[in-house]
Amino acid sequence: MKPGTGRVYLVGAGPGAPDLITVRAAQLLARANIVFHDALVHPDTVALAVNAETVAVGKRCGKHSTAQRFINKRLIDAAARFDTVVRLKGGDPMLFGRAQEEIDALRCAGVEVEVVPGVTAALAASAELGVALTRRGTSRSVTFVTPRVGDGEQAGDWTQCVINADCAALYMAAGQAREIAVRLIASGMRTDTPVVVVEDASLPTMTRTVLPLGRLGRAGTLALRGPAMILLGEVFRDVVAAVWPDSSMTSHEPLPEALSA
Amino acid sequence: MKPGTGRVYLVGAGPGAPDLITVRAAQLLARANIVFHDALVHPDTVALAVNAETVAVGKRCGKHSTAQRFINKRLIDAAARFDTVVRLKGGDPMLFGRAQEEIDALRCAGVEVEVVPGVTAALAASAELGVALTRRGTSRSVTFVTPRVGDGEQAGDWTQCVINADCAALYMAAGQAREIAVRLIASGMRTDTPVVVVEDASLPTMTRTVLPLGRLGRAGTLALRGPAMILLGEVFRDVVAAVWPDSSMTSHEPLPEALSA
């Protein structure tokens, strides 16, 4: 295949709020000829690409997801026709963004690729909550995971990864929140581990649900509309204690609904 | 104490390159009255605060570090005198930035605080290397840690946190690189685990040192000038194999210097 003449930029759109994109990313969008964006990227962010054709591809919680191989092909084709091709992804491209598949396909086709990092959702959630993920002396490790319940993938045991970290952010996890909680408790995590489920971090529609892990394992389905993540760790103890004063509840308690704060 | 009238913004400056700051952060700097910035923040980033008095505080690898309590007091005092006070921190404020101490002190003094997230160094390093930290099916967890060798802190065992993750980014770790490698190997991590030490991620002065973990444990002191992080995990195998074709080396090999690529 003849190498394309253009360059493809894999660009992080940030966590949601349009002004949480980087200056570099905004400048690239302004001069892009074509932009392939995740369906979940904010319309005002896509609108920064004033001179570009914009194409929604992939990743809306399973629906309307364009096959990865087809996205790769469109990027390669676009690089042959345009100078500046932007692949705009929610959050950061290199963290749960399937960027490697696109990078490998582009390089294999002789297309130059550059990656522009972005603010990842967990950091936006932490900022909105006003709770730092690390604390001097008591929280020195943070794990970002996409847990899968009940599959046989090659990746390491995510429960051990979460349990051994001082704080964890579980991406694309809220749909399986109950199963995840049950699995973590079965693996030895304390039922009073503080949990915050954050939906639409950084957007005006952001919600948070705070509860101890034991309750998450017994809660009904969380009423979530958009992408959500589960944060857990001792750093959230004060946040959870404000809503659940007796957060060291036992398993004898009645089963409440998850409380939205 | 009389509540201040101003608001304090804890703002992430991003990983180093001035254009990797968020649009929101750049706008806040432009209208700030006073900016307290980490010594390591890029001068061009600080210069975005065109109307502000700028004050360098703290955190240059131990030297010239202003005591945290004194920084807290200066922020509270500034909020009583100015509308818009910015505390500008490298990377993201909520990840290894001691933000909680400042948030708590400000809230305690009745000062409003808002946090603006930033791009953290590991994501910038990943972008520059062109290696995603996660891969579908094989790398689903990433741990960010500040390891401490040989102290008795309350935080969890960082070696278990690293070993159980598919990929890890060790912040503020390169000065202790050899001890960290020895500790990880003693805890059961494979000596052929791929390692990339990245210095000055996102800046023109960025360097990377690639080697298997076993060699890191036997290397001399890494020749580093600035802030550096250690990335490790199978996702870096190709990068390391390109430099060390026999990355499954045994402990019988001669002790080489760490190789800078």
Determine the residue type at B255: L
Per-residue pLDDT band at A123 (split at 50, 70, 90): very high
Give yes or no for B46 touching A (CB within 8 A): no
Can you give the pLDDT at residue B64? 47
Can you give the pLDDT at residue A1? 44
What domains are there in chain B, each with its CATH number? 7-116 (3.40.1010.10), 121-243 (3.30.950.10)
Can you give the pLDDT at residue B254? 38
Can you give the pLDDT at residue A253? 38
Q: Any catalytic annotation for residue B172?
A: yes
Cβ atoms B49, B32 nearer than 8 A: yes
Of the ranges B21-25, B69-73, B155-159, the best mean pLDDT one: B21-25
Q: Quote the CA–CA distance of A259 and B90 in Å, as a whole number.
A: 35
Can you give the pLDDT at residue A150? 65
Distances (CA, A) of B202 to B17, B133, B216: 6, 16, 23
B142 vs B65 pLDDT, higher one = B142
Q: Quote the CA–CA distance of A9 and A35 in Å, as a whole number.
A: 9
Which two structure tokens, joined as six digits, stand for A152?
Answer: 């046989």
Distances (CA, A) of B247 to A239, A257, B36: 46, 52, 45
Can you give the pLDDT at residue B176? 87
Share of chain B above pLDDT 90, in %: 70
Query: What integer is the mean pLDDT of B56-62?
Result: 67
CA distance A53 to chain B (A): 23
pTM: 0.91
Can you give the pLDDT at residue B247? 57
Per-residue model confidence as pLDDT tens digits over A46-79: 999 999 999 999 755 444 456 888 999 999 999 9
Residues in A closer than 8 angstroms to B134, CB to CB, are: 94-97, 146
Which two structure tokens, joined as six digits, stand for A119?
Answer: 């603010």
Contact B123 A23 (CB under 8 A): no
Residues in B closer than 8 angstroms to A161, CB to CB, are: 141, 143, 161, 164-166
| Whether residue B192 has pLDDT greater than 60 | yes
Over chain A, what is the mean pLDDT? 87
Residues in B closer than 8 angstroms to A113, CB to CB, are: 130
Range with the lowest mean pLDDT among A85-89, B33-37, B72-76, B255-259?
A: B255-259
Can you give the pLDDT at residue A145? 96
- Going by C-alpha positions, the residue among B76, B81, B37, B41 that lies closest to residue B55 is B37
First-to-last C-alpha distance (Å) of chain A: 55
Cβ atoms B159, A160 nearer than 8 A: no
Q: 3-state SS of A140-171?
A: CEEEEECCCCCCCCCCCCHHHHHHCCCEEEEC
Q: Quote the CA–CA distance of B5 and B88 in Å, as a whole number.
A: 20
Annotated catalytic residue, options B89, B92, B172, B206: B172
Per-residue model confidence as pLDDT tens digits over A13-51: 999 999 999 999 999 999 999 999 999 899 999 999 999
Q: Quote the CA–CA distance of B250 and B153 in Å, as a whole number.
A: 34
Per-residue pLDDT band at B68 (split at 50, 70, 90): confident
B241 vs B129 pLDDT, higher one = B129
Can you give the pLDDT at residue B152? 54
B163 vs A221 pLDDT, higher one = B163
Annotated catalytic residue, options A92, A94, A104, A172: A172
A157 vs A101 pLDDT, higher one = A101
| Whether residue A200 has pLDDT greater than 60 | yes
Strands B53-57 and A53-57: what pairing?
unpaired
What count of Cα atoms within 13 Å lies in the side-chain half-sphere of residue B253? Answer: 17
The residue of chain B nearest to residue A128, with distances taken between CA atoms, is: B115
Contact B123 A118 (CB under 8 A): yes
Which two structure tokens, joined as six digits, stand for A45?
Answer: 């962010």
Per-residue model confidence as pLDDT tens digits over B92-121: 999 998 999 999 999 999 999 999 999 999
Identify which of B26, B95, B133 has the shortest CB distance to residue A133.
B95
Q: Quote the CA–CA distance of B229 and A7 in Å, as a whole number.
A: 29
Can you give the pLDDT at residue A247? 56
A209-236: b (≥16 Cβ within 10 Å) or e: bbbbbbbbbbbeebebebbbbbbbbbbb
Per-residue pLDDT band at A217 (split at 50, 70, 90): confident
Contact A166 B164 (CB under 8 A): no
Which two structure tokens, joined as six digits, stand for A8?
Answer: 């493809």
Can you give the pLDDT at residue B227? 76
H/E stretch holding A233 reads: strand A228-233
B29 vs B240 pLDDT, higher one = B29
- Going by C-alpha positions, the residue among A167, A127, A206 that lies closest to residue B100 is A127
Q: Quote the CA–CA distance of A148 and B114 in Å, as a whole number.
A: 34
| Whether residue B2 has pLDDT greater than 60 | no
Q: Quote the CA–CA distance of B89 and B117 in Å, as a whole number.
A: 10
Give yes or no for A104 touching B (CB within 8 A): no
Can you give the pLDDT at residue B256? 40
Range with the lowest mean pLDDT among B12-21, B149-158, B168-177?
A: B149-158
CA B80 to chain centre: 31
Interface of A with B in 139-168 (CB under 8 A): 139-148, 153-158, 160-161, 163-166
